[in-house]
Amino acid sequence: MEQATEAEYIKRAKRGDKEAFVTLINAHKALVYHLALGILKDRQEAEDLTQEVFIRVYENLRFFRGESRFSVWLSKVT
21-70, pLDDT tens digit by residue? 999 999 999 999 999 999 999 999 999 999 999 999 999 999 999 999 99
Say which residue, 44 or 78, is predicted with more confidence. Answer: 44
Residue 4 above 70 pLDDT? no
For residue 65, the model assigns a pLDDT of: 93
For residue 52, the model assigns a pLDDT of: 98
- Could you tell me the residue ranges of all domains in the chain? 3-77
Residue 74 above 80 pLDDT? yes
Q: What is the CATH number of domain 3-77?
A: 1.10.1740.10
DSSP string of 5-44, one letter each residue: HHHHHHHHHHTT-HHHHHHHHHHHHHHHHHHHHHHH--HH
Q: Report how far residue 30's alpha carbon sits from residue 32's, in angstroms, rounded to the nearest whole number.
A: 6
